[in-house]
Every structure is written in structure tokens, then in C-alpha cells.
Chains A and B, each alone.
Chain A
Amino acid sequence: MLSMKNISKSFATDNVVTHALRDINLDLGEGDFVSVTGPSGSGKTTFLNIAGLLESSTAGEYWLDGEDISKLDDKGRSRMRNQKIGFIFQSFNLIPDLNLFDNVDVPLRYRGFNASERKKRIEYHLDQVGLASRMKHLPSQLSGGQQQRVAIARALATSPRFLLADEPTGNLDSSMAQSVMSLLEDINANGTTILMVTHDNGLAARAKRQIFIKDGHAQELLQGQQHPIHNLAAV
């Protein structure tokens, strides 16, 4: 369902060209759970942004659910993000003015669902993350873990086939992180493909596949292969 061929991303300033990603090749199938690790500045987030259509690559082909992304305009990319992709961010990125109900409502509005359909979905997904009773609360009234759960409910509200998580547990303590990770595993078990960027090797190891990015190059780790980050740390 996701296919990247020779995806590269470079940033040019007056005199310097910086290569953030070089010739990334990746194929993800239905129900995959892929973790992406790598040192800071290695290009993980850029990779995730390209995968999530938040940025464009400077070279290469990217096909998502049978559509050639390079041929889409802003409206087409927005539609793809809304219908096919769910986002979870490290800092939750809930809109502070909106209560939980309205936060989860945001992608549903852009999807064009009617009021009753939206209400049904919002209540269902908030219930799934255990926050149905706090729908009228503002994000600031919740703990970090709870906010991330709302973000997950928001990401799932449009029933995306593809979930992108950028350090979803980065701002959480370990018990909350475990709880959120378990939630992601449940979501994956229900068939949603997940691409997760993380610094945490322990969490990365819980994914079905692991990709390691360093200096813009991606390398898929085989089952049981020692994580290269240990080698880097040892150097």
C-alpha cells in the first residue's frame, strides 16, 4: 500500500546543498508495523513528513494506496492526508481552544461527514481510548498520556489505513509510554499500517519491521539483528 523508490530530499541554501534523505526504498504492506530509528538529525522526521505528504521529496517515486503522489496538487494531497493517513505527534498537537470532542472533530469536518456521523465516530473513538467521559474537557485539563490518547482518537477518527507516529511516547513517562504503545499495537492488530519514528530501541523492537536511518540512508534491520544505535553508542 506504500511504495517509495529512490526517494531523496535535499535542501539548498546559497552555497550548500544538504542531503536529508538519499535513495530511500521502502514497501509497506497492509497491516505492517514499522519502526524508524536513527540518531538525531539523521532524517527520520523528514522521512516521516514525506511519507505523510507534509513535505515533498526532491527526487524519487512515491505511491500511496495506488496513487502517484507527485501528480497530486494541494487539494489532492490534503484529501489523501485526510482520508488515508492519521498523524500522531510527539507533542500531541491538540488545538488548545477546542475541547476533546471538537479536537477529534477536526479531520471529520474536512472529510465532510454529517453531524450525526461525526458524533458517532467521535464518541466511539474517544471511548476506545478511555476518554468518553471527558469530551467537554480542554486539552490543558488532561495529563500528557491522556492528551496523546486524544491525539490517537483524532488520528483514527477518519478510519485511515495508514498511521504515522512521530515519537508518540517521547513526552510521556515510561508507564504512559507503555500504555500508548499497547494501544498502537491493538490498532495495528486491527489492520492499520503503522510507521513509527522513535528514539526508544525497546519500543522500536516491538514493531514488526525496523528501519534504521543514518545520514539520510535507510537500512532495514533483519529480525534479531543488533540495533546499530548500540554500535554508534559504543564508538
Chain B
Amino acid sequence: MFSYYLKLAWLSSKRTWGMSLLMVMAIALGIGAAMTTITVNYLMSANPIPQKSDQLFYVQLDAWDPNNPYFDNGDPPDQLTYRDATTLWQAKKAPRQSIATGAAGVIEPADKAALPFMAQGRANSADFFPMFDVPFLYGSGWDEQADLKKEFVVVINSEINERLFGGKDSTGQTLRLAGKDFRIIGVIKRWQPQPRFYDISTGAFQDSEEFFVPFSLMAEQVIGHSGNNNCWKPTGSGFKAYLDSECIWTQLWVELPTQADVQQYQSYIDAYADEQHKFGRFARTRNNQLSDVMTWLEQREVVSEDASMMMAMALMFLIVCLLNTVGLLLAKFLGKASEIGVRQALGASRRDLFLQHLVESGCIGLVGGLLGLVLAWLGLEAVKSMYGDWMAELAVLDLNMVLLAILLAIGSSILAGLYPTWRACQVQPSQQLKAQ
């Protein structure tokens, strides 16, 4: 009977094509608006490293101003001082740990005809690559010895490799960066976690870095820092004083595979804060947090309230569109009362009629959903053009979103069709047949 109901739905829509078009448009507009915002929210709030997000922990300590908490809600600062981060990193209390900060430097192409250009990078320790499952095209990251020996090694991304080496395996080649020669030991594949969870201090949806160098080179001033740097008291003069200051500009991630590891590490950082308290630091000794990836992203409100509000408004708009569809379907189905009466007289049960009209509602929803997908695509293109490149990765309809849109459209139009269908099934055939 399903194919029969499909045929009837087609004939019915053809007869009242204007009304059907209005319903399709109403659903399409609602779905288009909803899917545009849902997609952006979905990608913003997606787990960027699902395979191990519950094992990676961001470390926060509170060495900030005793009289003025860093965040109004009392959360510890979102970065660490260099001295705290390096102390914890050197203590090796976690199976893996990545100390890092943003870096920037000028790259001078070997081809003298090509102009030097500024590149954004990251200064990080060796564990960064295995901890975050960074995919390599050629070579690999460096080892702990390179960190300790402050080797001039660099990992570049595939775009830089393409630009400077035509995409060939460039490992072993030299890269002139920040006025120094670095040995390329790895080229990473395209890698763009969304959000860029490992460093959200300068925005959660920034592009991933173009190059990576050992963090230890930071202290040698081989490479320049790039990113947020906040201080609550004077740093003193000289770079050494800056490194020893209370300025926060480094990040520490630790990999803690078990709950016991987490508790152990928490005890360790609490003890560290207690110890520092004795030296007059860490006024808030127990404000130390270990947050796994998703907790960290939630805490820092990576999905902004504005985006959530937009989504709520878009869903409300969808509801308004559906209410309109309810009205139109009601008018349409009750306009078919005489046909419903005839069908009842010829042997259709209320269940038959109910299914027939639900299929019709579902078909309208399906067409509306498909059109809504086109509108959602246009909406996302508009979002991209309004917000620029950083939204490019967030404004993409993936298969999940396409399926969700179609299911949402069919489901909501069936929901919208329930009341009109129920009303249609209440038609008294005797009255309709006499009224003919």
C-alpha cells in the first residue's frame, strides 16, 4: 500500500500545487535556517579528538593576583607561567606531557627569487605529536633528546611543504626560519582539529600551525612567541626575568590513561601549589584543575552563548514554519473530506486513511527537507562570506548533517501532519457523501 499512498500523495500535491508549494517552502525555510545554525553549532561543539579526549588533560594552576582572580567565576587562569609549566613538564609525573606555546617567524625560501613570509607556528615538546595523534605525511616528530639538546629541528605542514618543496618529501632539507637554519624532520598531513582544542587562547577555530619547533628553543630566544601573554605584576628587566615572571603564556597538556593517573597527577599539582605557597606564591592553593578535552572546551565556552541563542531562535523559526504547515495541511486535508468519505464507504479504515495522509505529510517534508538542504548550503555559504576563512571549516554540511536535515524535515512534517490527519480521519462519511 505504501507505493499506492505515494501515488496518491503525488496526485494530491499536483491538484493543490499552490498549497503544496507553500508547505514545501515553509518547511524548507525552517529546515534551512535550523540546519545552518545546527551545523555551525555541531561542528563547534564536536569532539576534536574522540579517540582519546577523556585521556588528555589540560593543566591549570592559579598563581594569579591574590586580590583579583583571573576569571570572575574564580576559575584558574587559562595558561601557565613559564616557570610552573617547565617545572611540571620536567617532573615527568604523567606518562606523556606536552608543553607548548604559540610561535611565529619569518621563513626565507631557498629560492632567492621568492619573497620571505611570516609563518605562524608552535613551540612544543616532543610528546605533542603522539599525544594529539598528529598525522605525518613524511618523517616524524622529534624525540625528547632533541628537546633537551635544543636541536634546530622543525616539522612543517603540508601547505608549507607544497609551497617550498613542491609537495615532495622534504625531510632532511633545511628550512631557513627566524634567521636560523632548521632541519626538517617531518611533514604533517592536513590536520585541522575543530575546535583547535590544544590551544584556544587565541581563538578556538584558528588554523593549525604551519611549523613546529622544540619548546626549549623558546628560552634561547631562537624563535619568537606569538599568542596571548598576560601579567599581573611587573616582570623585571631582561628575558631571564620575563621567563621567571608571573606572566602566563604557556600551556601544558598531560596524557593520563587511567583514573588513578588523574588522581595521582591532581595530588601532585596540589602538592606543588602548596609548596609554592610557602614561597609566597599561589594565594589560592587548591584552585588547580585538570580538565579533559571536552570539559576544557565547555569551561571556556568554545560554543558561544550567541551561537546557542541563534540556534534556539532558528529552531523556534522552524516551529513557526511547522505551525504554518499544520494550518495548511489542515485546510488541505479537510478540503478532501468528500474523497475521504468515499474512501471510507469503499472500505478504507481510519488506519488506512491515517497512513495515507501521513505519507502525504512525509512526502511534503521530504521535498521541503531537500530544498531546505539547498537553503542551508546557501546559508552556510553566506556565513562563510560574512565571517571569513575561520568559519570555512565550520560551515560544511557533512553526511550526518544531511541525514539529520532529512530526518528532521520528515519527522517534523509528520508531526505537523498528525493533527490534520487525525481531523481528516474523523470525517463522517455519511455527511460527506450526502453533501456531494
CB nearest neighbor in B for A55: B430
Given A78-B352, A93-B433; A109-B4 close (CB under 8 Å): yes
Q: Does A154 contact B (CB under 8 A)?
A: yes
Q: Which of A26-83 contact B (CB under 8 A)?
A: 45-46, 49, 52, 54-55, 74-75, 78-79, 81-83
Residue from B1, B11, B430 within 8 A of A54 (CB atoms)? B430
Cβ of A110 and Cβ of B11 under 8 Å apart? no
Q: Of residues B339, B343, B346, which shows the largest number of chain A Cβ atoms within 10 Å of its Cβ? A: B346
Cβ of A110 and Cβ of B347 under 8 Å apart? yes
Which residues of chain A come closer than 8 Å to B338, judged between CB atoms? 93
Q: Does B263 contact A (CB under 8 A)?
A: no
Q: Does A95 contact B (CB under 8 A)?
A: yes
Interface of B is mostly: helix
Chain B nearest CB from A62 CB (Å) reads 15
Q: Which of A68-115 contact B (CB under 8 A)?
A: 74-75, 78-79, 81-83, 87, 89-91, 93, 95-98, 106-107, 109-111
Chain B nearest CB from A154 CB (Å) reads 7
Q: Does A158 contact B (CB under 8 A)?
A: yes
Cβ of A97 and Cβ of B11 under 8 Å apart? yes
Contact with A along B328-359 (1 / 0, CB 8 A): 00000000001101111111111110000000
Given A54-B429, A55-B430, A106-B346; A97-B12 close (CB under 8 Å): yes
CB nearest neighbor in B for A92: B436
Chain A nearest CB from B330 CB (Å) reads 20
Chain A nearest CB from B12 CB (Å) reads 7
Residue from B11, B344, B433 within 8 A of A89 (CB atoms)? B433
Cβ of B12 and Cβ of A110 under 8 Å apart? no
Cβ of A79 and Cβ of B346 under 8 Å apart? no
Chain A nearest CB from B424 CB (Å) reads 14
Which residues of chain B come closer than 8 Å to A54, judged between CB atoms? 344-345, 429-430, 433
Given A93-B342, A97-B11, A97-B15; A82-B347 close (CB under 8 Å): yes
Chain A nearest CB from B357 CB (Å) reads 15
Cβ of B351 and Cβ of A79 under 8 Å apart? no
Cβ of A110 and Cβ of B430 under 8 Å apart? no
CB nearest neighbor in A for B351: A75
CB nearest neighbor in A for B352: A110
Total number of A-B contacts with CB less than 8 angstroms? 71
Which residues of chain A come closer than 8 Å to B92, judged between CB atoms? none
Please measure, in the bound complex, the distance between the C-alpha atom of A162 and the C-alpha atom of B343, giving whole angstroms.
Answer: 18
Please measure, in the bound complex, the distance between the C-alpha atom of A83 and the C-alpha atom of B430, giving whole angstroms.
Answer: 18
Cβ of B15 and Cβ of A91 under 8 Å apart? no
Cβ of A106 and Cβ of B343 under 8 Å apart? yes
Q: Does B278 contact A (CB under 8 A)?
A: no
Please measure, in the bound complex, the distance between the C-alpha atom of A111 and the C-alpha atom of B1, giving whole angstroms.
Answer: 11
Q: Of residues B347, B351, B434, B436, which shows the largest number of chain A Cβ atoms within 10 Å of its Cβ? A: B347
Chain B nearest CB from A89 CB (Å) reads 6
CB nearest neighbor in A for B4: A109
Which residues of chain A come closer than 8 Å to B344, judged between CB atoms? 54, 78, 81
Please measure, in the bound complex, the distance between the C-alpha atom of A166 and the C-alpha atom of B434, giving whole angstroms.
Answer: 9
Which residues of chain A come closer than 8 Å to B436, judged between CB atoms? 89-91, 93
Q: Of residues A54, A74, A82, A158, which shows the largest number of chain B Cβ atoms within 10 Å of its Cβ? A: A54
Given A93-B436, A97-B12, A110-B352; A81-B430 close (CB under 8 Å): no
Please measure, in the bound complex, the distance between the C-alpha atom of A89 and the C-alpha atom of B434, giving whole angstroms.
Answer: 9
Cβ of B349 and Cβ of A87 under 8 Å apart? no
Chain B nearest CB from A81 CB (Å) reads 5
17 contacts across the A-B interface (CB closer than 8 A) = A54-B429, A54-B430, A54-B433, A55-B430, A74-B349, A74-B351, A75-B351, A78-B347, A83-B347, A87-B345, A87-B433, A90-B436, A93-B345, A93-B433, A106-B342, A106-B343, A110-B349
5 closest residue pairs by CB, A with B: A82-B347, A78-B349, A110-B347, A91-B436, A107-B346
